[in-house]
A and B are shown apart, each in its own frame.
Chain A
């Protein structure tokens, strides 16, 4: 089977699985998960086949050494559009796509398997469980639906990955947005005692609307790009020096920005939304309301990395007009600033969070900021590298947190306590109760922190820091410092999380009675842990001391082939290496030292920061919704005040009352009243007197005649005869009198 055909087929099995489950196998839970997992295995096998085939091609990515096939999609061509060729849609596998396929398909597969155990497969249906609420002990009531949505989501992601043009990529982007909404709000009926705590339903809407802001801007960017170039195909735009030059020099309608810059900024706006960068980061922490596999899949491994993937893919456009050593283009500048800011910003918030999943959510935001910042300063392969490794260890961490939560819930069933199973303060000492989870979580956490040499995170993070340092100048140095600080905090809060959860002794009876989970949940953890360790070794820089020459920097070579100009490998410098060692080990040590033995009821040591701690805990108040202040009152957060309130006012008062009810309804009522009056006038002055009147008049006349003439009919024959004779005489006179004369 040709590689191109395989590529076309890769997104299909999950789509089929979605339809099959929704239409046919919905009632049969076992059949549904079998269909879903079979489909994802198919996609995974095909993806890996394509990947390994791509490895065999020499100089993959250059010129025609790619797997590409496109069909005519919109067959128009007019003089108004620059290029009169029809719009084509198709599949493209170049080095970037190949590595994406590698990890996306694998992580999706692991998460599908994990979901089987997570949704309590094997347990009977609990009578107390209602669809729309998370199950207590029995099997998830909406089991089949979950797998259907996961399959649809996998379809969206795979479509995005193999797309060869911006439009198809955007379609996949939007499908994932939809699935994100469906899956975050999976437990749609769940309510909380606190009315200001965000429910899954509200979180789903929040996610959708926030990413929508980015998506609209992205759409504008796509349209503007098409208007300028007449094509949306990646190969035609991004590897065509003339096109890129033209875009970089043509002025857009905003003074000071070239077309490439404006398009780049608009497309970056889409990534800000999708990859939860500041200022559109607020949906990701609340998206933790969804089931944990959802968090792992969407918000760690795949969907949020789709945003970064888009930026990596479009890097030639974003950096059009930039060469090494020159000023950064506006999109790159924006990415550098926002990315590094977000990395530090989210890391500070994560330090003060107590929910195990929220820590990971902010960690994701922070790591995505890393990747964006890396792109912003031009470290292309470093960003891609970190994307791949991050997917593995973040998915691992999320699935591990899900396992931890399940373990605590198991303990809760034994002790009948009513505590929040997701709060780390209720855990502790789980390393003895849940060993597999502990070790895999530890590996993931170390990878996240960048523990040297044996974790993938170290190599990718080091690549970024090295790239920033090598860039030099104001931008490079600032990015380097900020990212280094963020790395320290990352290590700190990660170790905090691991210590609070696994180390020390159990702080609640439920943690005391926690136990390890079923193999469908632990096996994916092991697989992902393997990759979290080894994935880094494909990207060891050639110039690294001692280890440098042992393994070729395959990743750099391979992925670098995606670009027209292969990026040069940086020369090794000790400073970034030392910095990353210091911050990683230092942070880990600090975190372990402070949190290694927290007792039940003990205050969080971070609270010595006082008001800063409160600021961090409340996410700098940069959110919608309300927060509870010290006096117990509920106050608006910043976004609530700035954005939500005015919009609500606009729709409730302006549109609904003034325009809709007042103007539109008023006009309609006016028309109605006028028509009614007109009708009444017609009725009273024309219909009744004239039309009815003439009819009645005719009848009245006839009746008058009848009444008045009926006296003739007396019933007496002789009188009739008299009448006859009179008339005969009269006629006779008239007819015969002239004769007589």
Chain B
């Protein structure tokens, strides 16, 4: 048996890598890729917990399915926004999009 903590540690690691990607990358699309990594790490966590704590219950998988749907929707909308910004400003560098500056 693979101990649960391995899965959790792995997921934590992926999460933190994704977090680094979000905070440190210039390109907006790269930031979105980091977000996808974070969501996947969350999914790993959810499924691991389902398997090890309540395998007879469909709720764990259900949760993961919902996360899938939300991630998809969010990715679609996010990328649409990036394209729209690109059309306006001719840039996708997150640092340059600071219109809400004081």
List chain A residues, Cβ under 8 A from B23. 718, 721-722, 725
> How does the 8 Å CB contact mask read for A686-730 relative to B, with 1 for contact and 0 for none?
000000000000000000000000110111111001100100000
Quick one: which of B22, B99, B101, B102 contacts A718, CB cutoff 8 A? B22
Smallest beta-carbon distance B101→chain A, Å? 3
Q: Decide yes or no whether B100 CB sits under 8 A from chain A.
A: yes
Smallest beta-carbon distance A692→chain B, Å? 29
B: residues with CB less than 8 A from A are 19, 22-24, 31, 94-95, 97-102
Q: List 9 A-B contacts (CB under 8 A).
A: A711-B102, A713-B100, A715-B97, A715-B98, A715-B100, A716-B98, A716-B101, A722-B23, A725-B19
Tell me whether B99 and A717 are in contact (CB under 8 A): no
Most buried by A among B95, B97, B102: B102
List chain B residues, Cβ under 8 A from A718. 22-24, 31, 94-95
List chain B residues, Cβ under 8 A from A710. 102
A704 to B23, CA, bound (A): 30
List chain B residues, Cβ under 8 A from A715. 97-102
- Other than the given A713-B100, A716-B98, 4 more pairs (CB < 8 A) read A714-B98, A716-B95, A718-B94, A721-B22
Known contacts A721-B22, A725-B19, A725-B23; is-contact A714 B94 (Cβ 8 Å): no
Smallest beta-carbon distance A634→chain B, Å? 93
Tell me whether B94 and A713 are in contact (CB under 8 A): no
List chain B residues, Cβ under 8 A from A714. 98, 101-102
B28 (CB) vs chain A CBs: closest residue: A717
List chain B residues, Cβ under 8 A from A725. 19, 23
A281 to B94, CA, bound (A): 115
A716 to B23, CA, bound (A): 11
Tell me whether B22 and A713 are in contact (CB under 8 A): no
List chain B residues, Cβ under 8 A from A717. 94, 97
Known contacts A718-B31, A718-B94; is-contact A713 B19 (Cβ 8 Å): no
List chain B residues, Cβ under 8 A from A722. 23
List chain A residues, Cβ under 8 A from B94. 716-718
Smallest beta-carbon distance B84→chain A, Å? 15
A: residues with CB less than 8 A from B are 710-711, 713-718, 721-722, 725
A713 to B101, CA, bound (A): 6
Smallest beta-carbon distance B88→chain A, Å? 15
The dominant DSSP class at the A interface is helix
Smallest beta-carbon distance A708→chain B, Å? 11
Smallest beta-carbon distance B26→chain A, Å? 9
A153 to B97, CA, bound (A): 103
Q: Which 9 A-B pairs have the closest CB atoms?
A: A715-B98, A715-B101, A710-B102, A713-B102, A715-B100, A716-B98, A716-B95, A718-B23, A714-B101
A717 to B34, CA, bound (A): 14
A712 (CB) vs chain B CBs: closest residue: B102
Smallest beta-carbon distance B85→chain A, Å? 11
B25 (CB) vs chain A CBs: closest residue: A718
A721 to B99, CA, bound (A): 17
A58 to B18, CA, bound (A): 141
A717 to B85, CA, bound (A): 14
A130 to B2, CA, bound (A): 131
A632 to B23, CA, bound (A): 120
A722 to B23, CA, bound (A): 7
Smallest beta-carbon distance A703→chain B, Å? 13
List chain A residues, Cβ under 8 A from B98. 714-716
A715 to B22, CA, bound (A): 16
Most buried by A among B19, B24, B97, B98: B98
Smallest beta-carbon distance A318→chain B, Å? 106
List chain A residues, Cβ under 8 A from B102. 710-711, 713-715
Smallest beta-carbon distance A464→chain B, Å? 117
Smallest beta-carbon distance A294→chain B, Å? 95
Smallest beta-carbon distance B97→chain A, Å? 7
Smallest beta-carbon distance B86→chain A, Å? 16
A713 to B95, CA, bound (A): 13
List chain A residues, Cβ under 8 A from B24. 718
A725 to B20, CA, bound (A): 11
Smallest beta-carbon distance A372→chain B, Å? 107
Smallest beta-carbon distance B15→chain A, Å? 12
A9 to B28, CA, bound (A): 114
A626 to B22, CA, bound (A): 116
List chain B residues, Cβ under 8 A from A721. 22-23
Smallest beta-carbon distance A727→chain B, Å? 14
A710 (CB) vs chain B CBs: closest residue: B102
List chain B residues, Cβ under 8 A from A711. 102
Most buried by B among A715, A721, A722: A715
A715 to B93, CA, bound (A): 13
A716 to B98, CA, bound (A): 5
B96 (CB) vs chain A CBs: closest residue: A716
Smallest beta-carbon distance B27→chain A, Å? 11
A715 to B99, CA, bound (A): 6
Smallest beta-carbon distance A213→chain B, Å? 91
Most buried by B among A711, A717, A721, A725: A717
A717 to B24, CA, bound (A): 11
A710 to B19, CA, bound (A): 26
A715 to B97, CA, bound (A): 7
List chain A residues, Cβ under 8 A from B31. 718
A713 to B102, CA, bound (A): 6
List chain B residues, Cβ under 8 A from A713. 100-102
Smallest beta-carbon distance A421→chain B, Å? 102
A714 to B95, CA, bound (A): 9
Smallest beta-carbon distance B69→chain A, Å? 24
Smallest beta-carbon distance A514→chain B, Å? 110
A707 (CB) vs chain B CBs: closest residue: B102
A716 to B97, CA, bound (A): 7
Smallest beta-carbon distance A709→chain B, Å? 9
A640 to B19, CA, bound (A): 116
A443 to B23, CA, bound (A): 137
List chain A residues, Cβ under 8 A from B101. 713-716
A639 to B11, CA, bound (A): 127
A717 (CB) vs chain B CBs: closest residue: B94
List chain A residues, Cβ under 8 A from B100. 713, 715
A718 to B94, CA, bound (A): 8
